[in-house]
Structures are given as C-alpha cells and as structure tokens.
C-alpha cells in the first residue's frame, strides 16, 4: 500500500520514509528541496532513502515540486495512486513566520488545500498531517490537552497549523475523509533541522562561539525524540480516525468529532527547563557553553507540556526517550556527519 510522504527530504519526513521502507511499504516522496536551510542536508537524506530502497527492494520515488503546484501534485496522485498520505511539507519555524508571512500562506494554507483536494478526488483511505504544539498559543494551563481551546495563536505559523486542523475537519465532515492531525512538541534528534536549538547549540559550542539563550534561559519545552515521533506516527497511520459516537453537539469537545477526524498531542510528557537541555548538550560534547542571555522573542512562548493520554489510549504508545539519551544520540550523529 503506497504512502505519499510530503516533505520527504525534511527531518520528520526522512525518518518516516526510512521506517516505511524498512517495513516494506512503498514510498512516494514529494519535496521542493527549498533553501530555507542548507539543501545539501536534504539531498543527503534523500540519498540515504535511495540507498535503503535499493537494499530492501522497496520502491521509493521522489517528485521535486511545490505543494502550491497543483498540476504537479494532481499528476502525482493520478500516476502513483497512493492509498495513504502523510503531509509533513510546510514552511516551518515560528520566528521566520514573522519575517516572511507570505511563505506560510502559500505552503501551509494553499498547499494544504491542494493536498485535501487530491485526497478527496482520489479516495485516499487516510490522511495524516502535521500540526504543531504551537496551536496552544497563549494558553498557560499545563499540560496542554486536546480538550483545551486553541483559539489564541501567537504566531502566523501557529495560526496556519490551526487552520490546517479546521480545513481537514471540514473535508472529513463533507467527504468522509479519515484525517488525523499531529501536534508535535519540539522534535529533536539525528538528521534534525539546522535552524532548531539543538543544532544551533551544538554547532556554536564546537566552534567556541556563544549560544543564544532566549528569555534568559527561563523556558521549558517538552522535547520529543525523533524515534518516539515516528513510532507514534506509524501507529496512527495504521489506525485511521473514526467518528466519535460520544460527541455532543450541544457541548462540543475540541478533542473529538462526529466526523472521522482526530488530533493528537505527540510529546514526551516530561517538560524540561532549557538550561537542563543545554547542560545535556554540554555533557554530550564535553564542553561548557558560553551563553548569551537574551529576552523572549516575539511569537514565542515560555513553556510547553504535552498531555498524551489520548495518544496512549488510541495506539498504546507514549514517547519516553530521555533528553540525556536523545541529545547524546544527536551529538554522535552530528560528529559523524560533519566530521568533528
């Protein structure tokens, strides 16, 4: 059963595609290999996927195109007939959304609309799509639960992810498309994005440069290791969303629906102070970081924490990799890949 993975050259898309190929599931990758960060890393990920496909004998094919290119996307659906779709392609980054909002509107809204139409026209059996913990916005009630309101985003990135959830729910209602949204919490690990904290910290420390520590280090994040993200994603992909017969339209719960649509938090449920995370990097590298303390950045939040009871109930799994183990694995990969 072929799976279309958009953003296959990205961090999560690469790891998901590897897992699918390893278990014998054909993968149709779709990615524009844009220069938001170094395309060399994206090309290296694709080379790894092609190597895995050759070794396992499981088909992998990459289409280089934008989600906004509806002709290319429709052709992909028409020629390859994927039965399931995992949409991980998006313009990422909270801070960049303040500098370049148009990129988010095109990729995260227009592009996602094209994905939904492709799924509808070609009777896709299950759409799984990336949302984000950022949808909780200005909420301070912890841990974040799918039952909580997400009506107060603090960045356009967050707003675009909430819009994706609303759009997917509408298609589930109108066309019976099973759709599952994934609210990722601060994903990290080998082959990660160079614009994220762990990559930036590791690079700067090895170069003897100070690391930028926002909100004077008074931040908490539910750091979630990539392998736990992929295990959750695979299990959810294999168990499509269904209608919830307990949904009460007179007292609607954001966590459920009469339509075959669900959203799940995917986090480690172990919120970690930023300074502890930095200490784990220092231990893994054997170097003490020089720290530049800075104020909170616009669009950011002070803390995140995931309630993953719904995920565990639905698929029998919850992320559990410790920050110390996960950071050490990233540092080992970084030293190997960049030859430090």
Active centre residues (catalytic): 157
- Token pair for 141: 């009630």
| CA separation for the pair 110, 70 (Å, rounded) | 9
Q: What's the chain's Rg over C-alpha atoms? A: 19
Rounded Cα distance between 304 and 168, Å, is: 24
For residue 150, with 0-12 CB atoms within 10 Å meaning exposed, 13-18 middle and 19 or more buried, which class applies? Answer: buried
Residue 125 CB coordination number (10 Å): 13
Q: What are phi and psi of 327, to 5 degrees?
A: -65, -40
CA 19 – CA 227 distance, rounded (Å): 10
């Amino acid at each position: 059963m072929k799976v279309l993975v958009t953003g296959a050259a990205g961090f999560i898309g690469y790891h998901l595609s590897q897992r699918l190929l390893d278990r014998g599931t054909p993968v149709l990758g779709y990615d524009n290999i844009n220069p938001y960060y170094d395309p060399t890393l994206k090309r290296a990920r694709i080379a790894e996927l092609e190597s895995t496909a050759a070794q396992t004998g499981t088909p992998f094919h990459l289409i280089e195109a934008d989600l906004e290119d509806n002709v290319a996307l429709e052709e992909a659906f028409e020629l390859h007939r994927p039965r399931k779709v995992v949409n991980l392609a998006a313009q990422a980054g909270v801070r960049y959304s303040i500098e370049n909002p148009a990129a988010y509107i095109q990729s995260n809204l227009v592009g996602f609309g094209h994905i939904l139409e492709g799924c509808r026209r070609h009777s896709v059996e299950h759409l799984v799509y990336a949302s984000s913990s950022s949808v909780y916005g200005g909420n301070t009630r912890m841990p974040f639960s799918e039952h909580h309101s997400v009506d107060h985003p603090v960045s356009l990135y967050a707003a675009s992810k909430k819009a994706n959830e609303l759009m997917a729910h509408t298609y589930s209602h109108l066309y019976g498309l099973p759709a599952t949204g994934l609210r990722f919490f601060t994903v990290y690990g080998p082959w990660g994005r160079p614009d994220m904290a762990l990559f930036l910290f590791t690079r700067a420390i090895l170069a003897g440069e100070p690391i930028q520590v926002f909100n004077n280090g008074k931040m908490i994040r539910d750091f979630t290791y990539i392998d736990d993200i992929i295990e959750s994603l695979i299990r959810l992909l294999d168990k499509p969303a269904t209608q919830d017969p307990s949904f009460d339209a007179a007292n609607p719960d954001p966590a459920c629906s009469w339509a075959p649509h669900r959203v799940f938090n995917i986090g480690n449920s172990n919120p970690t102070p930023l300074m502890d995370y930095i200490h784990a990097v220092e231990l893994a590298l054997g170097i003490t970081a020089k720290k530049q303390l800075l104020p909170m950045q616009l669009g950011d939040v002070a803390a995140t924490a995931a309630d993953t009871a719904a995920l565990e109930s639905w698929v029998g799994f919850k992320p559990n990799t410790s920050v110390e183990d996960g950071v050490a694995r990233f540092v080992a990969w970084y030293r190997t890949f960049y030859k430090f």
